[in-house]
Amino acid sequence: MSNKSKSKNKFQVPRGMRDILPEEQLYWEKVKQVVSLSAKAFEFKKIDTPILEEKDLFVKGTGIYTDIVEKEMYNLTTKGRDKLVLRPEFTPSIVRAYLENGFSSLPHPVKLYSIGPIFRYERPQKGRYRQSYQANFEVIGEQDPVIDAQLIQLFFFICKKLGLKKLITQINSIGCSDCRPGYKKKLMNYYRNNKKDICSDCQKRLKQNPLRLLDCKNIKCINIAKEAPQIIDCLCDNCNNHFKSVLEYLDELEIPYILNSCLVRGLDYYTKTVFEIWPEEENGRQISLCGGGRYDKLIKLLGKKDVPAVGFAIGLDRIVNLIKERKIKIISKSAPLIFLVQLGDLGKKKSLKLFEELQRAGFKTASSFSKNTIKAQLQIANKMNVRFALILGQKEAIDGSIVIRDMILGSQEVVPLNKIIKEIKKRIKK
Ligand code: HAM
């Protein structure tokens, strides 16, 4: 049943959240499978962290003046008065797990990936949900710019396997604690001169989080941001060289990118490289498929040691939506090989046992014992894209035979029931 056809019920799914229905699972399974295989190919190890975390982890990690912390967290207080939140992102959780589990004594870089839900109390719209799913990748303990480029390469690798083309990387560098303060001063001077023309949110940002002035979506503010001083012109030598190298690696990989001097990302921990990857046709709309960057100071902020790191997260809901929008065919590897059609009382009885024998022989078999007509059952078999339909009716049950129908070739043949396993094996070999 589609979401549209559901009737108004007394209880409804919470606003901005949704059920992922059985017919959609095919897409989700495929995307998660490609993500996991690609993560392994790029030598990431899987880690699962709790959905609930201490609130302060994000206040400190993500940043007190970010939208996520100011407006979007789902808060709860436990009976023991602990202040917890539903995780709004993975990165601080992964850093916490890295520190808490003593990963700092492992050989570096430590490469970790996770797949799971995140929760943000945002205004719901297409592609933006209050419960969404991310595949998150972190590389901890390496400052070489090649890793920044390799993460972008990984995203394109995943998309290629899913048949997703026409993507564009938006990239910027937001400097480090040496060069950013100088840039911030310049930016604030520029915005003070334009103070009367910026929106009320930007008036606040000017005091609390000036870099975010650059990615305000208000049309007046967009025009002001276009003329603002660019951070690229203020980078120190270290950040400048790092950024140049990332771009050179992307050129080498033939990954398409555009420099976006207004890309600052909405999370406080970033240093140097930041990036988002968008579908080409959606450019300009708020629909990034993934986003990430370097966060060389977060581990020190949450722990003690100065350890550089870089990572990104993919919005799986948006990937699934894009696959559907672009009508990319996903073929399920788990589709059954055989559909067992049963007709009449005797046929049904004998099919029950045969169903088990076929499964035991290792053939993925489907059936619909509640449907009685051959037409209805063959229609289901067709939809499932099975290779063979086996038809066991009253006559066959009495004769000790069965009809084997090749759904691809359209041919059919009657064979002895006790030879059916052999007959299927013979046909698969052909
Ligand atoms: P983010 O840009 O907030 O970064 O999220 C990454 C991706 O998650 C977005 O590009 C988008 O595709 C998806 N996403 C985020 N919020 C929603 C939503 N409400 N509905 C649907 N999709 C959404 C982070 O979360 C960082 N932790 C990424 C990172 C990892 N940076 C370094 N390491």
**Taking all residues of the chain, what is their mean pLDDT, rounded to a whole number?**
93
Ligand 1: does its nearest atom lie under 6 Å from the Cβ of 289? Answer: yes
Share of the chain above pLDDT 90, in %: 83
| Test site for ligand 1: of 28, 215, 290, most ligand atoms within 8 A of the Cβ | 290
What average pLDDT score do residues 64-74 get?
93
| Test site for ligand 1: of 132, 150, 296, most ligand atoms within 8 A of the Cβ | 132
The answer to whether residue 2 scores a pLDDT higher than 60 is no
Which of the four pLDDT bands, split at 50, 70 and 90, describes residue 97? Answer: very high
What local confidence, expressed as pLDDT, does residue 5 receive? 53
Atom 13 in ligand 1: residue holding the nearest Cα: 315
111-168 confidence digits (pLDDT tens):
999 999 999 999 999 899 999 999 999 999 999 999 999 999 999 999 999 999 999 9
What average pLDDT score do residues 159-179 get?
96
Which atom in ligand 1 lies closest to the alpha carbon of residue 136?
30
Distance 89 CA to ligand 1 centre (A): 7
Which atom in ligand 1 lies closest to the alpha carbon of residue 122?
19
Atom 21 in ligand 1: residue holding the nearest Cα: 128
Ligand 1: does its nearest atom lie under 6 Å from the Cβ of 290? Answer: yes
Ligand 1: does its nearest atom lie under 6 Å from the Cβ of 292? Answer: yes
Which of the four pLDDT bands, split at 50, 70 and 90, describes residue 7? Answer: low
Distance 316 CA to ligand 1 centre (A): 9
Ligand 1: does its nearest atom lie under 6 Å from the Cβ of 288? Answer: yes
Which atom in ligand 1 lies closest to the alpha carbon of residue 127?
21
The answer to whether residue 8 scores a pLDDT higher than 80 is no
Lowest mean pLDDT among 49-53, 320-324, 369-373: 369-373
Distance 351 CA to ligand 1 centre (A): 50
Ligand 1: does its nearest atom lie under 6 Å from the Cβ of 273? Answer: no
This prediction has a pTM of: 0.86
Ligand 1: does its nearest atom lie under 6 Å from the Cβ of 136? Answer: yes
Ligand 1: does its nearest atom lie under 6 Å from the Cβ of 278? Answer: no
Ligand 1: does its nearest atom lie under 6 Å from the Cβ of 183? Answer: no
Distance 117 CA to ligand 1 centre (A): 11
256-266 confidence digits (pLDDT tens):
999 999 999 98
Task: Specify which of 6-20, 244-258, 370-384 reaches the highest per-range mean pLDDT.
Answer: 244-258
What local confidence, expressed as pLDDT, does residue 208 receive? 85
Distance 374 CA to ligand 1 centre (A): 49
Ligand 1: does its nearest atom lie under 6 Å from the Cβ of 271? Answer: no
Q: Residue for token digits 């050989």?
A: 107
| Test site for ligand 1: of 288, 295, 299, 302, most ligand atoms within 8 A of the Cβ | 288
Ligand 1: does its nearest atom lie under 6 Å from the Cβ of 318? Answer: yes
What local confidence, expressed as pLDDT, does residue 410 receive? 86
Residue 368 has a CB neighbour count (10 Å cut-off) of 16
Distance 340 CA to ligand 1 centre (A): 45
Distance 189 CA to ligand 1 centre (A): 31
Which atom in ligand 1 lies closest to the alpha carbon of residue 68?
3
Distance 5 CA to ligand 1 centre (A): 30
Distance 315 CA to ligand 1 centre (A): 6
Which of the four pLDDT bands, split at 50, 70 and 90, describes residue 285? Answer: low
